[in-house]
Amino acid sequence: MYQAIDLSFRVRDRIILQNVNLTIRPGEFTAVVGPNGAGKSTLLKSLAYENTNFRGQVIINGTSTSSYTPKSLSRVRAVLPQSTTVPFAFTAEQIVHLGRYTHRSTHIVNRAIVQEVMERTSTFSLKDQAYSTLSGGEKQRVQLARVLAQVWEETVHPRYILLDEPTSSMDIAQQQQMFALAKSVCSRNIGVMAIVHDLNQAVQFADQLYFLRDGKITAAGEAKDVFTKTNIEETFCCRVNVYHDPCNNCPYVITERTDTVPASIHHLKLKTSSL
Amino acid sequence: MNLSLTVRDTRHALVLTALSLVLVITVLVSLTVGAVTIPVGDVIIILLQKIGLFSQLQVDSMHEVVLTTIRFPRVVMTLLVGGALGVSGAALQGLFRNPLVEPGLIGVSGGSAAAVVLMIVFGSGFFLSTDNLLYDAIIPIVSFGGGALATFMVLGLGKQSGKTNIAVLVLTGVAINALAGSVIGLSVFYADENQLRTFTFWTLGDLGGATPGKLLITAPLLLGSMAALLVQSRSLNAIALGEAEAYHMGVNVERTKRIIVLSSALAVGVSVSLAGIIGFIGLVIPHLIRVVFHADQRLVLPASVLGGAWLLIIADVIARTIVAPAELPIGVMTGLIGAPFFIMLLMKAKLKNEI
């Protein structure tokens, strides 16, 4: 299990995270949703132990992250950032190979794993292309392949992947593919945690769903149970309706149309026009 | 698939072997050129005799003296300095994730130069003679200290919320270099005729001052720092994706950073103390390797050692033959080759909106 226990983080006086408790179980897809600025990325960075200045604890497989070395940590968790730029001309395959950085396995094993994850992410045909020439969606899939390569081997302990809005530069077909893939790797004793922007996709794929607002968990539980009108409205401050989609046997959300521009935006417009 | 990567590894070895061969040939040729022309055959025989072979063969004794006391130390120093500058440039570019970084830009050479000039002008009082071994030993240390200090200032000031901001970094580098320039100017103001002359030629770069004694002290430092940089090539590959990403993949980023900055400062500082400021090798060579071959740091770093050594040997041969019996300062030569190349890189980066 991958647990955040009583996680709090503040920058000077600003509270970014407040007493967050979160559990990622191997074999499950855990999604975190919330409005912009809710602290989702900070939560992910704290879980990844990239941000270390938090109060509280992050525990992976029974051991606190503070007791891990960068190397031993990389064997149990991999992270997919929102976007990655590479200043030098690496090929897609070289990028995926980097996922095997700390693994002292043989070339043959590494190559087999790289090929397998590239095939799974449908990036194998891109392997000799320069990374910088790929489209946004292709880059993201290559990065996912790298992340998978890092935790692909079956080990005695469960492994985890943390995805920060993995579908931000993808069309809807690619988004579905990405989430289906993330979900399918759960069967390899991998726990998946993803920050998801699209609520409907979150509820379609997630086993556990966390709502985050102003650094606090506002609701959490089995995805289909907590996906309610009240939870969504309270988290996002937006009028919505939740319906049931019989085709997916899954709830979905639609925003209620409003014709009144919120006061704050009016205010902003006035300010800029007076400049 | 299994084959393609084996092929890639073999290709690394092939490229490095080919570069080594070219370097060996260039070195042999460079040993023949100079005020006295020594045939290649004699060069090889003398070299072999040094390791105890062919001792029965007779060669011109003047050739032997010229080769062993003048040209050979000079060539070894040129190789070491060129290699050190090349690999430092490659490692720093990799660390800062920017192909336009060179040791000069982040203050290493400026800091080293300022420290050495202070030493030449104000430090001579501490030593009875500037020709003793202690003086030779202190200069590289002072030079390294100055380089390391400047680099850490640039690196520290260029940080923004824990991450290196390249724009701030380069601007800080400019500021630190300006500061170093002022320190140098101030020292020049107080320098006497003799010190001024020594210093002016020293800043332009001079490979002529090599002595076996100097090499004995500096070679281990240069070789050591080069080795320390070469070991980081895998980590640098990971850092190409970003510092956070490298950390996620298991790289101890802070340690890698410290090793690279310290080793580069040592390599460049010692090089500056030996041969003055030699620009552009650290910028041009890694870039050339990346363009001609590919960006895998496991190739770029060792190939930059060979390439840097090669370019400096060539530049040195041209510098000491083109106006023979006089010698052009080496800094002039590398600048002549490097500056147009740097402008070309800038133009290319501009077109691609990389700046």
| Whole-complex ipTM | 0.86
| A79 touching chain B per CB within 8 A | yes
Check whether B128 has a pLDDT greater than 50.
no
Q: Which chain B residues contact residue A112 at CB under 8 A?
A: 2
The rounded distance, in Å, linking the Cα atoms of B227 and B305 is 10
- Pick from B72, B81, B103: nearest CA to B310: B81
Q: Does domain A2-76+157-225 have CATH number 3.40.50.1370?
A: no
Interface of B with A in 229-248 (CB under 8 A): 234, 237-238, 240-242, 244-245, 247-248
Q: Using CA atoms, how far apart are residues B172 and B272, in angstroms rounded to an integer?
A: 21
Domains and CATH numbers, chain B: 74-351 (1.10.3470.10)
Q: Does A92 touch chain B (CB under 8 A)?
A: no
Distance CA A42, CA A16 (A): 8
State the pLDDT at residue B8: 59
Nearest to A39 by CA among A73, A57, A15, A6: A15
**Whether B5 contacts chain A with CB within 8 A:** yes
- Put simply, the answer to whether A73 touches B250 (Cβ < 8 Å) is yes
Q: pLDDT exceeding 70 applies to what percent of chain B?
A: 87
B339 token code pair? 């500056």
What is the reported pLDDT for B131?
Answer: 57
pLDDT in 10s for each residue of chain A, 275 residues = 898 898 899 888 888 988 999 999 999 999 999 998 888 999 999 988 988 888 888 999 988 888 999 989 999 999 998 878 888 888 899 999 988 888 877 888 888 899 999 998 888 999 888 888 888 888 889 999 999 999 998 888 999 999 998 888 788 888 898 899 999 999 889 999 999 999 999 999 999 999 999 989 999 888 888 999 889 988 988 888 888 888 888 899 998 887 766 655 444 444 444 44
Select from B239, B310, B275 the least CA-distant residue to B92. Answer: B239
Q: Identify whether the C-beta of residue A113 lies closer than 8 Å to the C-beta of residue A149.
A: yes
pLDDT at B271 over 80: yes
Higher pLDDT, A136 or B87: B87
- Under DSSP, is residue B163 helix (H, G, I), strand (E, B) or coil? strand
Q: What are phi and psi of B251, to 5 degrees?
A: -85, 135
Do A98 and B295 lie within an 8 Å CB cutoff?
no
CA distance A237 to chain B (A): 31
Can you tell me the mean pLDDT for B156-166? 70
Residue B4 predicted with pLDDT over 60: no
Of A85, A84, A65, A83, which Cα lies nearest the Cα of A74?
A: A65
Alpha helix (H) residue ranges in chain B: 2-32, 40-50, 61-65, 72-96, 108-122, 133-157, 166-190, 193-203, 212-231, 233-239, 243-248, 253-275, 281-292, 297-321, 330-351
Give the pLDDT confidence score for residue A268 in this predicted structure. 47
B280: left (phi over 0), alpha (psi -120 to 50) or beta: left
Can you tell me which residue has the tokens 């970014």? A16
B192-237 pLDDT, tens digit per residue, is 887 777 677 666 666 777 778 778 888 999 999 999 999 999 999 9
For residues B61-83, average pLDDT:
86
Task: Tell me which chain B residue has its CA closest to the CA of residue A111.
Answer: B2
Nearest by CB to residue A90, choosing from B234, B240, B247, is B240
Mutate to test the interface with B, among A71, A98, A129 (most CBs of B within 10 A): A98
B99 CB neighbours in chain A (<8 A) are 87-88
Mean per-residue pLDDT over chain B, rounded = 81
Nearest chain A Cα distance for residue B233, angstroms: 11
Nearest Cβ partner for B2 among A88, A98, A111: A111
pLDDT for B217: 81
Three-state secondary structure readout of chain A: CEEEEEEEEEECCEEEEEEEEEEECCCCEEEEECCCCCCHHHHHHHHCCCCCCCEEEEEECCEEHHHCCHHHHHCCEEEECCCCCCCCCCEHHHHHHHCCCCCCCCHHHHHHHHHHHHHHCCCHHHCCCEHHHCCHHHHHHHHHHHHHHHHCCCCCCCEEEEEECCCCCCCHHHHHHHHHHHHHHHHHCEEEEEECCCHHHHHHHCCEEEEEECCEEEEEEEHHHHCCHHHHHHHHCCCEEEEEECCCCEEEEEECCCCCCCHHHHHHHHHHHHC
Q: What is the DSSP letter of B53?
A: -
Cross-chain residue pair B249–A101, CB shorter than 8 Å: yes
Per-residue pLDDT of B240-257, as tens digits, reads 898 889 999 999 888 888
Predicted pLDDT of residue B269: 83
- Cβ atoms of A193 and A44 closer than 8 Å: yes
Q: Do B247 and A101 touch (CB under 8 A)?
A: no
Residues of chain B in contact with residue A78, where contact means CB-CB under 8 angstroms, are: 248-249
Choose the closest CB to A84 out of B1, B242, B253. B242
Q: Are A210 and A28 in contact (CB under 8 A)?
A: no
Q: Crossing angle of helices B281-292/B297-321, nearest 10°?
A: 130
Tell if the CB–CB gap between A86 and B241 is shorter than 8 Å: yes
Q: Is A89 on the interface with B (CB under 8 A)?
A: yes
Closest-CA distance, B48 to chain A, in angstroms, reads: 40
On chain B, the residues whose CB falls within 8 A of the CB of A50 are 244, 247-248
φ, ψ at B29 (rounded to 5°): -65, -45
Nearest to B249 among A89, A115, A150 (CB): A150
Chain A CB contacts of B237 under 8 Å are 94, 98, 101
The three-class DSSP label of residue B1 is coil
At A9, give phi and psi (nearest 5°). Answer: -150, 130
Cβ–Cβ below 8 Å for B241 and A99: no
CB B302 within 8 A of CB B230: yes
Evaluate whether A242 touches A229 at the Cβ level (below 8 Å): yes
Sign for the CA dihedral angle at A94, A95, A96, A101 comes to: positive
Residues of chain A with CATH 3.40.50.300: 2-76+157-225
Nearby residues of B282 by Cβ (< 8 Å), 6 or more positions away: B85, B86, B88, B89, B90, B92, B102, B103, B104, B268, B308
Specify whether the CB–CB gap between A56 and A44 falls below 8 A: no
Q: Which of A78, A87, A98 comes nearest B238 by C-beta?
A: A98
Distance in Å, alpha carbon of B353 to nearest chain A alpha carbon: 12
117-136 in chain A: CB under 8 A from chain B: none
Give residue-wise pLDDT tens across range B137-154.
677 778 778 888 888 888
Q: Let me know if B160 is exposed, middle or buried by CB neighbors in 10 A (0-12, 13-18, 19+).
A: exposed
Q: Which residue of A has its CA nearest to B249?
A: A74
Supply the pLDDT for residue B303: 94
Residues of B in contact with A102 (CB under 8 A): 249-250
* Residues making up chain B, counted from first to last: 355
Residue B9: closest C-alpha in chain A:
A107
Asked if B249's CB is within 8 angstroms of A74's CB, the reply is yes
For CA atoms B146, B198, B205, B34, give the dihedral sign. Answer: negative
Gap between the Cα atoms of A132 and B252, Å rounded: 26
Closest CA to B137 of B317, B274, B331: B274
How confident is the model over B61-81, as a mean pLDDT? 85
d(CA B167, CA B65): 52
> Does residue B22 or residue A270 have the better pLDDT?
B22
DSSP B207: -
Tell me if chain A has a CB within 8 Å of the CB of B164.
Answer: no
Nearest Cβ partner of A98 from B249, B290, B294? B249
Q: Which pLDDT belongs to residue B226?
A: 95
